[in-house]
Structure 1
Amino acid sequence: MELDEDIQTTQRGFHCNLCVVNIPNKPSLEDHVKGKKHQHLLRLRAQRKAQEQNSVFVSGFKPDTSQTDLKEYFAQFGPVSDVIMDKQKGVYAIVEFSEPQNAQAALAQLQHQLNGLKLRVKPRERKDFKLASRGKHDSKTHQISLDKLNYELCKTSSVNEQMLKVVESFELKDNEKKGRDLLVQLLQEVFTEFFPDCQIVPFGSSVNSFGIHSCDLDLFLDLENTKGFQACAKSSEAQTGENQSEDCRSEDSILSDIDLSTATPAEVLELVAVILKKCVPGVHKVQTLSTARLPVVKFSHRELNLHGDITINNRLAVRNTRFLQLCSGIDSRLRPLVYTIRLWAKQKQLAGNLSGPGPLLNNYALTLLVIFYLQNRDPPVLPSVNQLKNMACEEEECIIEEWDCTFPSQPFIVPPSKNTEDLCTLLSGFFTFYSKFDFSASMVSLRDGHVLPITDFLQSDEEAVNTSEASGPKPKRSSAPKLGPMNVLDPFELNHNVAGNLNERTQKNFKRECCEAEKYCRSLQYQQKSTKGKFWGLVRLFVLPSEAGPRSHVDPEKIMEVSIPFKAAVLPEPLRAQLALAGKGFRGLWFVKVCSAVHMVFHEVLKCSPLAETQTTAVCQNLDKADRDGNEMEVNNNQSVEDSGLQAKGETGKKRPLTVEEEGPSTSTVIQAKKPKLDADLEHPEPVHWIWSQSNRVWAGRRKVRRDLLKTSDETSKPEGGCVDIESRVTQSIVEKEEKLQNSLEFEVHAEVVGGNESTEVVLRFHPSHDTAGVFQDFFHFLESFLPKMAETILGRAGS
């Protein structure tokens, strides 16, 4: 097929500039071009282009000019289909005609006059059509806003000064703080009229010492005293028979229509929204979100040009705010680090969900990551939450919703840190710390000040209440935190993962950008000011991904590997329980489970033939059989660890060379049903080695075969085993219809598990040993996405 102007050829296939997607091969390209999305965008682009040709830009009219006035004036040149006005940014309008010749007629007239003023009429600006993506910021807008900052940063003499300059540039100024304080006072006065003795308590970025220009104003409406007032008033009314409270204040207010002790949060928030709309000057765009995780009323304020939120059930957030205030008061280096890392994360598109909930880091989670890093410096910069708890006096004890939120109220109570590292060193250390962090198999715990193993959170809800011995009183709620690619435990609400919204891509991007930043921080461009006026220090660190240039080329021989990451959230409950019992040895058990799943994919789903099955492969088959029998895998205690198929050698997460000799005959790994878990030392299992042979192009045309198979199968004949059995039938159908390869494709697979100093995952390395037909590259490209998904599916049904 002939490529159109939207399709660009790349080293790995094709790229569609219109849809902003990569396409691996020509068959997929044909399907993409004919697809609904591409065709829709083609029509949309043509429509936008026609609108530009039919429109003129108009300015110079009076502010009180209406759309009707403009439409009536320009109707003399032809039918006007629409008038778009924008009076917020400036007095201008876009007048769209029905035909392009009408717009040309309006432009041909030299002078235009409306209501005594001369109008400026120009052609509408032509813009390149781009696919708008939710959640991704406009890099040009952000770059323009940083131009002045970059200039100021380059004038400084050190990275330390640059970080302080970042704080100065972004922090809330005194006049902004004063404006917010006045608004809080106004809201307090208004709401007190309707909810006597209530309190408006600000929290979040505005007051936690990490606020930036135009950050939201988060408010907590505390109605506890109001509930007491209402109960007292009702009691007094029952005794006296009058609608008056004991302190002679009339209850002729909004409280007459609602009982706070029985009202739902949604009902109370509706009343809050009404008060905001009708009684608070300058407030507009009031919206109630009663179905959110924390129900909230959103609003905007015209004069202050800020957005605000009001909640009624968020005491923990207020306490979190005071905790961040305390941390910034304990050590002055925290604020520059947080401001700098937040800006870095935003520029690298790792943080800042512009459309509300999204898969990126929020500022709170990012700040906790910085604090946790400082807790783990040697010596520590900040103490753990448990250490802070022990420094508090009895009067400072605080229990909220049965979570222990105790810490000192003043920073001078905390002894100063013995750590004397400067900001430049600490920033570099942050990237080093998280570039080697095992996110998927660890839980970041600021309360303990160190990593907690993920196995502590794989138990059933009833067993997973306490995360550590010193985690405070046992709450009634026993739900475990949501596990995901990145796990950051809230310091007080110990069943809340503040990074639970992240997806696997964001976690990988975060770690990759940390690795890139760690490498850059070792260079002189980071540490020393340029004598030639070039960008240096933080300026180069903040470079947008699109402007950083192409990444270093990787040798194709080194990328023939597929990774299957550890995903605790998708594992079935029986397997989670086994891993929890395995303790530190969970990687060994999980590795064998994954190897069993991979073996099943190659042998049963893709119909590969084993040419050389090692004893380890046989172990995987035995394990699979044991799973079906309801048994658990164990290592025979009569054999030494060195003799077993799963060995404990080297440091945690250290990659070991894979050699066939290392996997000599082993008969020590057996299946037993008595002991409930693996030995705790089995953290580093031996690599697994397979040699497979494939005789058919089982990867070619699978979508069409699968679609036809599902269409022709009735409900009674459809496979009962889900997508695994479906994919097996797809392969069988291809084998029956397609001709065999002239020479079978033979390839080796080496599998090993890594973790500890890197993300826990099973790495599968592929080496074609016989590929005269030259088809292995296509087969490997298919396996890159197919193999992890199928292995995850098989693991997900384990124990079911």
Structure 2
Amino acid sequence: MNINPNQTKIKSPYKPGTATKPLIIIRGYRQPVNRKAIQEYLESFGGLDQIIFHNSHITIQFATDNFHETFRKNKLRFENKSLSIKIIKPNNQKKAKRIKVLKNKNVKLKDTNFKPKDKNIQPKNKNENTPAKNLERSMNIINPLQLINEITKLRTADEQLMHLMKEIQLPYQEVETNHLSLCQYLESALSNYVFVTRGCRAMPFGSTITGLAFKWAELDVFIQNINIPDNATNDSGTIAQYITQSKIALQRTGSLYSIQEKQSKYLNTQYIRCTHESTKIICNIYFKNALGVCNSNLVYFLLNSDVRLRPMMMVIKYWAKINDIAGPKKISNYALVMLLIFYLQQNPKPILPNISMLQDPFFEKIINGWNAGYNNKFNFQTLNDYSIPYLLHGFFEFYSTYDFLTQVLSPFTGTSISKTMFHNANELDNILWLYKKNFLSNHCTKLEVDYLMCIQDPFEHNHNLTKPVNLTTIKVFQQCCTSAALICRKAIDSQSIISLLPQLLKVTNCKYEITILPTSSLNQNIDLMDIAERNNWYGRVNEILLIILKKVMKFDIRLAKHDQTTDIHDNIVESFNISCIGYFEIHHNRSKVSKKIGTSVGLKHEIAISDYIVENFNKSRLLNKKPILEMDILFIACRNPTRIVLELRNRQDELKNCFSIYEHYLQKWLPIWIDKYLQEKAEDILAASTSSRCK
């Protein structure tokens, strides 16, 4: 079998007219995809002759001639995403290939007369932009375990850090050659078709400008109309008009494809998302984010003030990425940067000034009512000469115990501010005079301090950078910080700095807690009951929990004793471990199936839903029982107060995406199910589920 997971040819290897087996095109998987995992998943259906990974799809051929018909009948799901397949017979492969080329070039909308003003937008070295080189931007190419092995072989900590930066950081030469040239190209295209009178400026922002971009990073660009002042802000109507006109202009260029209109919840605005054909750079084009450009320039200035800061931030970004702390609905990369800046502003030996110092006395650039100006010649003298390992230890230790629930992190003031202070603006210190002025004059809304985590934007003082962050993310972040601080401390104390990065860049096996309380399921206060009655509640929860895991979630479970070495061991009444292996995705379409099946009630109904999903949507997994989830649940019955704590831990690093989905699902539904069905008899539930299966 000739299978090469690293092959990245875009052109089909099958010669039209000579292929004897159907070509299968697979789409719909999550990008970037784990190549080894999806290859093993596809091989589970039958032997493969070839598998080739393209930018947006995969092509395969089975070794058996007619196996594609059997393959088509399966409902394919990989990493909780439905896969779509298209089977092209040998005599149609030439036609299909031609259709693909036409589709990618947007031929119908191509204007052959369009020529960008800048003739040097293409990279000087064409070999640097082959599909194989462009595909390396995907994090899928960087294998964390392989990277750790490579780093471990190096002789010094400096060599390790340099190797890490080389492997994950987008080189400045590529930014200059490709990303900035693409901005010139966009500027030329939109000036000719949309902003005809005086033109526009395409201003990149985000990690590309700050020097913190990963190799797989996207390019964010703000389009500024030269006809309006820098401090003006486009309204939603104007933005919608720009987007409509710009989509047409970009389609006419013929050099951009997958041009789509999107909505950013984080920035509360529409934008255009597209891909540049020759470099394969994904580009997000905004018409409302002048403050984002200013923020990026500020970060660039601060990180350039000390040679230790950029490598340190890259380590933190990568550490957060592999531990699933950063990302959508979690801590954004910009918020991570603000966490580092805030830590470096702290006494006794601050490395960075607070932002208010940079705006003193009169460095002003007002955008939408906020001062985004600063003194970029400011020279802050620090007495802090700690090495990067010491600073990393300080960062992790600082945030491992930080009280995010009650405090606001303000890089502008360089201090923590109680959330309650923002409920009455008059109580705030005068250093926040601009916020007080804008809020009291109804120019802005209040800083959103009611969210669990609040980092104040350094310029737009009523903007909370961490609104989407939930309690689970905060707990995981602080657990990972505790573990990382311990790793740093051990390396420093043992004078073995060379062991720091290999240990730090391993995925932290965090625990996720689900707490079951008795108050809503009982009519009396259980803490006033005797020991026998309390133990009866523990036993009933245990009984229902095992039924849910085995019959509803369809886990294979195994029970084992536990040694009671936990943070709450003084209050433990009983503890044991539940080892779970999952094979089926039973959390999809439950509400639809619930309406479709019979009129059973209670936990019996939930079991019936799961049975239906397994039998109708997971037939391939019934034949080939390959685990999609392996985790441990530590059951801890506690007193003072009476409660049951479930600690969830992932056992297989390669299945962490699926674990994250199930952890969120169980966080939501386990307490509800246990509270709702606690009074049902286990014998009745099991008897009913057995009888329904027999029918």
Q: Report TM bin, short chain.
A: 0.5 to 0.7
Residue matched to 1:372: 342
The alignment partner of 2:382 has SS state of coil
Alpha-carbon distance between aligned partners in 2 of 1:512 and 1:428, rounded to the nearest angstrom: 14
Alpha-carbon distance between aligned partners in 2 of 1:216 and 1:339, rounded to the nearest angstrom: 16
Matches within 5 A, 1:589-608: 602=519, 605-608=522-525
Are 2:436 and 1:470 equivalent residues in the alignment?
no
Matches within 5 A, 1:318-717: 318-351=293-326, 353=327, 358-390=328-360, 392=361, 394=362, 396-410=363-377, 413-457=378-422, 459=423, 463-464=424-425, 468-473=429-434, 474-475=437-438, 476-481=443-448, 483-524=450-491, 528-529=495-496, 536-545=499-508, 602=519, 605-608=522-525, 694=533, 697=536
Q: Deviations over 1:258-288 (max 9, x none)?
A: xx88944223212122211112x42111111
Question: How big is the shift at 1:95?
Answer: 4.0
Question: How big is the shift at 1:174?
Answer: 3.7
Are 2:241 and 1:274 equivalent residues in the alignment?
no
Question: How big is the shift at 1:516?
Answer: 0.8
Alpha-carbon distance between aligned partners in 2 of 1:434 and 1:495, rounded to the nearest angstrom: 23
Change (3 A) 1:277 1:330: same
Q: CA contact under 8 A between 1:222 and 1:312: conserved in structure 2?
A: yes
Residue matched to 1:191: 190
Q: CA contact under 8 A between 1:465 and 1:480: conserved in structure 2?
A: no
Alpha-carbon distance between aligned partners in 1 of 2:279 and 2:9, rounded to the nearest angstrom: 27
TM-score (norm 1): 0.50
Change (3 A) 1:372 1:315: same
Change (3 A) 1:441 1:526: same
Alpha-carbon distance between aligned partners in 1 of 2:460 and 2:540, rounded to the nearest angstrom: 50
Question: How big is the shift at 1:364?
Answer: 0.5
Residue matched to 1:6: none
Alpha-carbon distance between aligned partners in 1 of 2:464 and 2:494, rounded to the nearest angstrom: 35
Alpha-carbon distance between aligned partners in 2 of 1:610 and 1:89, rounded to the nearest angstrom: 60
Change (3 A) 1:509 1:524: same
Change (3 A) 1:487 1:150: farther
Q: Deviations over 1:339-379 (max 9, x none)?
A: 1111111122212x3xxxx3322210111101111111421
Question: How big is the shift at 1:479?
Answer: 2.9
Residue matched to 1:157: 156
Alpha-carbon distance between aligned partners in 2 of 1:90 and 1:150, rounded to the nearest angstrom: 30
Q: Deviations over 1:105-155 (max 9, x none)?
A: 9xxxxxxxxxxxxxxxxx99xxx9974489xxxx99576266256524642
Alpha-carbon distance between aligned partners in 2 of 1:604 and 1:62, rounded to the nearest angstrom: 59
The alignment partner of 2:156 has SS state of coil
Q: CA contact under 8 A between 2:342 and 2:414: conserved in structure 1?
A: yes
Are 2:66 and 1:102 equivalent residues in the alignment?
yes
Are 2:203 and 1:201 equivalent residues in the alignment?
yes
Residue matched to 2:286: 311
Alpha-carbon distance between aligned partners in 2 of 1:603 and 1:263, rounded to the nearest angstrom: 49
Change (3 A) 1:67 1:499: farther
Larger radius of gyration: 1
Letter of the aligned partner of 1:344 in structure 2? W
Letter of the aligned partner of 1:363 in structure 2? N
Alpha-carbon distance between aligned partners in 2 of 1:369 and 1:330, rounded to the nearest angstrom: 17
Count the aligned residue pairs: 468
Alpha-carbon distance between aligned partners in 1 of 2:444 and 2:540, rounded to the nearest angstrom: 50
Question: How big is the shift at 1:520?
Answer: 1.5
Q: Deviations over 1:544-590 (max 9, x none)?
A: 236xxx99xxxxxxx9x9989xxxxxxxxxxxxxxxxxxxxxxxxxx
Q: Deviations over 1:735-769 (max 9, x none)?
A: xxxxxxxxxxxxxxxxxxxxxxx9xxxx9984669
Alpha-carbon distance between aligned partners in 2 of 1:269 and 1:499, rounded to the nearest angstrom: 28
Q: CA contact under 8 A between 1:163 and 1:337: conserved in structure 2?
A: no
Residue matched to 2:215: 213
Letter of the aligned partner of 1:420 in structure 2? D
Letter of the aligned partner of 2:432 in structure 1? S
Q: Which runs of 4+ in 1 moved over 6 A?
A: 59-62, 64-68, 89-92, 561-564, 699-705, 783-786
Alpha-carbon distance between aligned partners in 2 of 1:211 and 1:490, rounded to the nearest angstrom: 20
Question: How big is the shift at 1:704?
Answer: 13
Q: CA contact under 8 A between 1:481 and 1:497: conserved in structure 2?
A: yes
Q: CA contact under 8 A between 1:481 and 1:494: conserved in structure 2?
A: no
Change (3 A) 1:701 1:167: same
Q: CA contact under 8 A between 1:288 and 1:298: conserved in structure 2?
A: yes
Q: Deviations over 1:184-238 (max 9, x none)?
A: 1122222222303321111111112222323211111112x33589xxxxxxxxx
The alignment partner of 2:227 has SS state of helix
Letter of the aligned partner of 2:379 in structure 1? V
Alpha-carbon distance between aligned partners in 1 of 2:414 and 2:56, rounded to the nearest angstrom: 52
Question: How big is the shift at 1:314?
Answer: 0.5
Letter of the aligned partner of 1:214 in structure 2? W
The alignment partner of 1:607 has SS state of coil
Change (3 A) 1:150 1:276: farther
Residue matched to 1:734: none
Residue matched to 2:54: 88
Change (3 A) 1:192 1:95: same
TM-score (norm 2): 0.57
Q: CA contact under 8 A between 1:201 and 1:222: conserved in structure 2?
A: yes
Question: How big is the shift at 1:515?
Answer: 0.7
Residue matched to 2:261: 288
Are 2:146 and 1:181 equivalent residues in the alignment?
no
Alpha-carbon distance between aligned partners in 2 of 1:387 and 1:140, rounded to the nearest angstrom: 38
Letter of the aligned partner of 1:94 in structure 2? I
Q: CA contact under 8 A between 1:277 and 1:286: conserved in structure 2?
A: yes
